[in-house]
Structure 1
Amino acid sequence: MTGWSFGSQIYGSAWSTLALRALFDDLPRTRRWLDILATLAEVQGEFAVIPAENAAAVAKACRAVVLDESFFADVRAGYEATGHSTAGLIQAVRRRSPEAGEWFHFGATVQDVTVSWLMLALDEAREHLLVDLDRAIVAATRLCLEHRDTVKPGRTHGRQGLPITFGFKVAGWLAEMRRHRQRFSEVAARMGVGQLCGGVGSLSALGSRGLEVHQAFCERRGLRPPATSWTISRDVIVEWGHLLVLVAGTADRIGHEIYCLQRDEIDEVREGASREQIGSITMPHKRNPELSEHLGPLSRVVCANAAALAESLPHAHERDGRAWKVEWHAVLELSMAAGKTMQLLERLDVDGERMRSNLEASGGQTGSEAVMLALAAQLGKQTAHGLVHRIAGEAANCGRPFCTVLVEDSAVAAVLSAAEIEHPLDDAVQTAQCGALVDGVLGQDN
Structure 2
Amino acid sequence: MAIHPIEFRYGTEEMRNVWESENKLQKMLEVEAALAQAEANLNLIPKEAADEISSKASTEYVTVERVAEIERQTNHDIASIVKALAEVCKGDAGEYVHFGATSNDIIDTSQSLLFKDSIEILKGRLTELTETLLKLADDNKNTVCIGRTHGQHALPTTYGMKFALWADEVHRQIERLNECKERLCVGMVTGAVGTIAALGDEGLAVHKKVSTILGLNPVLISNQVVQRDNHAEFIMDLANTASTLDKIAVEIRNLQRTEIKEIGESFDPEKQVGSSTMPHKMNPITAERISGISRVIRAYVVPALENNPLWHERDLTNSSCERIILPEACILLDYIIVLTLKVLKNLVFYPENIEKDLNITNGLIMAERFMAELTRKGIGRQTAYAIVRECSLKANAENKGLRDVVLLKDEIRKYLSEDDIKEIMDPHTYIGSSVEIVNNVLEESKGWF
State the TM-score, normalizing by the size of structure 2: 0.88
- SS in structure 1 at match of 2:190: coil
Task: Determine if the alignment matches structure 1 residue 395 to structure 2 residue 410.
Answer: no
Counterparts of 1:214 and 1:73, CA distance in 2: 28
Match of 1:242? 236
Match of 1:351? 350
Counterpart among 114, 123, 127 of residue 121 in structure 1: 114
Task: Determine if the alignment matches structure 1 residue 371 to structure 2 residue 367.
Answer: no
Range 206-215 or range 163-172, more displaced: 206-215
Deviation string 1:387-436 (CA, Å, 9 cap, x unpaired) is 32332233233332221122123443344332332222222331131111
Match of 1:154? 147
Counterparts of 1:215 and 1:4, CA distance in 2: 39
* Change in 2 beyond 3 A, CA 1:146/1:338: same
Counterparts of 1:416 and 1:2, CA distance in 2: 71
The percentage of counterpart residues that share the same residue type is: 29
* Change in 2 beyond 3 A, CA 1:146/1:74: same
Counterparts of 1:53 and 1:415, CA distance in 2: 94
Match of 1:286? 281
Deviation at 1:438, TM superposition (A): 0.9
Equivalences for residues 47-62 of structure 1 within 5 A: 47-62=42-57
Counterparts of 2:64 and 2:34, CA distance in 1: 25
Deviation at 1:65, TM superposition (A): 4.8
Deviation at 1:305, TM superposition (A): 1.2
Task: Determine if the alignment matches structure 1 residue 254 to structure 2 residue 248.
Answer: yes
Match of 1:198? 191
Deviation string 1:268-326 (CA, Å, 9 cap, x unpaired) is 11123455443323333322212211122222222221222122232332223224653
Amino acid at match of 1:87: A
Match of 1:23? 18
State the TM-score, normalizing by the size of structure 1: 0.89
- SS in structure 2 at match of 1:164: strand
- SS in structure 1 at match of 2:187: coil
Counterparts of 2:226 and 2:50, CA distance in 1: 29
- SS in structure 2 at match of 1:155: strand
Range 364-373 or range 406-415, more displaced: 406-415
Task: Determine if the alignment matches structure 1 residue 33 to structure 2 residue 32.
Answer: no
Equivalences for residues 151-190 of structure 1 within 5 A: 151-190=144-183
Counterparts of 1:213 and 1:408, CA distance in 2: 86
Counterparts of 2:355 and 2:220, CA distance in 1: 60
8 Å contact kept, 1:262–1:270: yes
Match of 1:319? 314
Deviation string 1:352-398 (CA, Å, 9 cap, x unpaired) is 33211111122111111111223345543333333323322332333
Range 98-107 or range 228-237, more displaced: 98-107
Task: Determine if the alignment matches structure 1 residue 86 to structure 2 residue 112.
Answer: no
8 Å contact kept, 1:244–1:334: yes
Counterparts of 2:63 and 2:106, CA distance in 1: 21
Deviation string 1:324-372 (CA, Å, 9 cap, x unpaired) is 6533332222222221232322221223332111111221111111112
Deviation at 1:20, TM superposition (A): 0.9
- SS in structure 1 at match of 2:300: helix
- SS in structure 2 at match of 1:247: helix
Amino acid at match of 1:380: G
* Alignment length (residue pairs): 438
Deviation string 1:133-183 (CA, Å, 9 cap, x unpaired) is 111111111111111111101001111111111111111111112222333
8 Å contact kept, 1:306–1:330: no
Counterparts of 1:427 and 1:208, CA distance in 2: 75
Range 129-138 or range 415-424, more displaced: 415-424
Counterpart among 130, 138, 143 of residue 136 in structure 2: 143
8 Å contact kept, 1:269–1:350: yes
8 Å contact kept, 1:36–1:117: yes
Match of 1:328? 323
Counterparts of 1:183 and 1:134, CA distance in 2: 13
Counterparts of 2:210 and 2:4, CA distance in 1: 40
Q: CA RMSD in A?
A: 2.6
- SS in structure 2 at match of 1:153: strand
* Structure 2 gap ranges (5+): none
8 Å contact kept, 2:62–2:85: no
* Change in 2 beyond 3 A, CA 1:295/1:48: same
Range 247-256 or range 37-46, more displaced: 37-46
8 Å contact kept, 1:57–1:100: yes
- SS in structure 2 at match of 1:341: helix
Task: Determine if the alignment matches structure 1 residue 220 to structure 2 residue 220.
Answer: no
Counterparts of 2:63 and 2:85, CA distance in 1: 12
Equivalences for residues 268-307 of structure 1 within 5 A: 268-274=262-268, 276-307=271-302
* Change in 2 beyond 3 A, CA 1:301/1:100: farther
Deviation at 1:95, TM superposition (A): 6.1
- SS in structure 1 at match of 2:57: helix
8 Å contact kept, 1:367–1:425: yes
- SS in structure 1 at match of 2:156: strand
Amino acid at match of 1:243: D
